[in-house]
Structure 1
Amino acid sequence: MYLAMNRFTLTSENATAFEALWLSRDSRLHENPGFVAFHMLKGPEENGQILYASHTVWESEHAFRSWTRSDSFRAAHARAGGTRKLHEGTPKFEGFTAIQHIPAPA
């Protein structure tokens, strides 16, 4: 399993617009081989800033990397440049390979 995360820092006054942008996206992640799940996470507000993280789960790092080279990826990020004014700096990418997985009991 591979977890891909992008962290975004926003001022609290941009939070509503940022959330609306993500909630209205036409995600096609489910059409990509190896895609498992996506979450947009909202952290606590501290000193007028809020941390958000997009959290995507893939079957493997190879599946994730293949998606980043796909037409689906290019289409999903075509408007990304227009959101820069909403978050501070650039998103911070973090990728993780799972070394242990403990599922919930059935």
Structure 2
Amino acid sequence: MFVTINRIPVHPEYAAAFEARFQDRARAVDAAPGFVRNLVLRPADPATQPYLVQTFWESREAFEAWVESDAFKKGHARAGSLPREAFRGPNELETFEVLSDSARP
């Protein structure tokens, strides 16, 4: 399994608008081959911690195919719906291979 974590620092006054983007997302990724699930984690302290957006994939190749797809490009074109000042800094994308998973034998 392959996991991405996108750390997105959002100013607290834009939190509701940021969260609404995920509630109203197009869900195109849900149909992508190899996609497993998506988690959006709200920070306990939004003034100092970023939101975490995690995606789970069957493989790195499945994730990379999604990133190269027209559906990805179209879905992320909506990302500009919040003004630049909504963010406390740039997002940071991290990628991981799952070493151990207690939910999987």
TM-score normalised over the length of structure 2: 0.88
Corresponding residue number in structure 2 for 1:53:
52
The whole-number CA distance in structure 2 between the counterparts of 1:21 and 1:86 is: 13
Q: Percent identity?
A: 35
Which residue of the partner structure matches residue 5 of structure 1? 5
Question: Is the helix fraction higher in 1 or 2?
Answer: 2
Aligned residues: 104
Structure 1 Cα separation of the partners of residues 38 and 45 of structure 2? 22
Return the alpha-carbon distance in structure 1 between the equivalents of residues 4 and 28 of structure 2: 16
Gaps of 5+ in 2: none
Shift of 1:56: 0.3
1:90 aligned counterpart, secondary structure: coil
Listed one character per residue, the Cα deviations across residues 57-81 of structure 1 (whole Å, up to 9, x for unaligned) are 0000110001000011011101223
Residue 34, structure 1, aligned to residue 46, structure 2: no
Superposition RMSD in Å = 1.7
Unaligned segments of structure 1, at least 5 residues: none
Runs of 4+ in 1 over 6 A off after TM superposition: none
The alpha carbon displacement at 1:34 in A equals 0.3
Stretch of structure 1 that moved more, 83-92 or 68-77: 83-92
Letter in 1 for 2:60: E
Q: Which has the higher strand share?
A: 1
Letter in 2 for 1:5: I
1:78 aligns with 2:77: yes
Deviations 1:73-94 (A, max 9, x none): 0111012233333222221000
